[in-house]
Amino acid sequence: MAVTRFKFLSTFSRQFCTNSNAHVVQQTRLRIEEIRAKRLSIFDKELKRQQALIPRLEKIEVTYEGLDNETTTLVMNKGVSTPYNCAQHISEHVVKNSVAAEINGEIWDFHRPIPSDCTLKLLSMKPEDQHQASLVNKTFWRSCSFLLGAVVEGSFQDEISVSLHSFPPANVRSGSFVYDVQLSLDDWVPSQSDLRQISASFQKFVRQNHSFQRLDIDSSVALKMFEDNAFKAEQIPHIATKSSSGQTVTVYRVGDHIDISRGPMIASTSLVGRCLLTAVHKLDSRIYRFQGIALPSEIYINHFALGIIEARARKLNPARIPELKSN
């Protein structure tokens, strides 16, 4: 897949675009492309390696539980078939409206392979069960944080360095989803034009209908993948110790962007409707908290109601401020 670029130039960064440093700008742009291309190469190589470890296809039985407790037994391929593949056997409507899955009671990525016989439920953005609704909301919010990081990382294309730090656990009650980012700017205050331009890039990205592709990798592979980001490299050993194996890290790919998250994530960016960057707050040590809001693609509200939500999302999100050991 070709590398997608976000061509946002803030009013703050534009003042540095002079003939005297044009060669520096070009080098920075190539650097961004090289970093993303390297991560994609490692991701694809590791995915192929893991797929080659499957010696032969084994069949499993997936019991799909639909509306009114109707069940359908599907014979699928162990470690290869995903909830998406199961949905393809049911209906186009189910494929289009499924946000995530539930495997034996555990929320599951729509494009994550199924490892064994199981009971499957496919979740939409409007599940009747309140517990499922809470899980779906958190999955949607978490995915939006991930996408915000993708957009911000590609938004500053001049000499300004951008290092994604992390995003806090999804908390719908906070009023905004968040990504904390280090910029090589001491006191940047984005204008309304800046916010609108990043929002436009955000909207354009989600409309490209990218799937969320999950991959569990060894921590050594993760360290190689994120060796250009001091924060991620610092976080990876700790993240790995919390995995079931004690040495793996989960990454997701969306388009040309790869990042770390335990997930799960929504099926694709097409499930995100109206999305906005509402505020950027300076935290500390050049760390900026980017905050946004989004609506599921099937949910519409009037401008007045959206304005109330947007106003709330401008306030500093109270999520824990990240620890900074690397600068």
Provide DSSP, 91-106. -HHHHHH--EEEETTE
pLDDT at 158: 60
- Give the confidence band of 12 by pLDDT, cuts at 50, 70, 90: very low
Asked whether the predicted pLDDT for residue 165 surpasses 80, the reply is yes
Same domain membership, residue 116 and residue 30: no
pLDDT at 133: 92
pLDDT at 216: 98
Q: 294: which residues sit within 8 A by CB, 6+ positions away? A: 140, 144, 177, 272, 273, 274, 275, 276
Instruction: Residue count of the chain, please give it.
Output: 327
Give the number of other CB atoms < 10 A from CB of residue 71.
10
Give the number of other CB atoms < 10 A from CB of residue 8.
19
Identity of residue 317: N
Q: What is the DSSP letter of 233?
A: H
Q: 231: which residues sit within 8 A by CB, 6+ positions away? A: 163, 164, 165, 166, 182, 326
Contact (CB, 8 A) for 261 and 236: no
pLDDT at 29: 52
- Number of independent structural domains in the chain: 2
Same domain membership, residue 150 and residue 252: yes
- Domain boundary among the residues 124, 154, 180 is at 124
Instruction: Give tens-digit pLDDT for 88-120.
Output: 999 999 999 999 999 999 999 999 999 999 999
Q: 183: which residues sit within 8 A by CB, 6+ positions away? A: 156, 160, 161, 162, 163, 286, 288
**36 against 26, higher pLDDT:** 36
Asked whether the predicted pLDDT for residue 209 surpasses 80, the reply is yes
Which residue is it, tokens 């960057």? 277
In which domain, by residue range, is 105 found? 59-124
CA dihedral 152, 154, 206, 283 (to 10 degrees): -10
Q: Percent of the chain beyond pLDDT 70? A: 89
Same domain membership, residue 274 and residue 198: yes
Q: What is the pTM of this model?
A: 0.90
pLDDT at 3: 37
Instruction: Give tens-digit pLDDT for 29-84.
Output: 558 788 999 999 999 999 999 999 988 899 999 999 998 788 999 999 999 999 99
- Give the confidence band of 16 by pLDDT, cuts at 50, 70, 90: very low
pLDDT at 252: 98
Same domain membership, residue 295 and residue 204: yes
**227 against 156, higher pLDDT:** 227
Asked whether the predicted pLDDT for residue 6 surpasses 60, the reply is no
Same domain membership, residue 32 and residue 87: no
Chain mean position to CA 249: 15
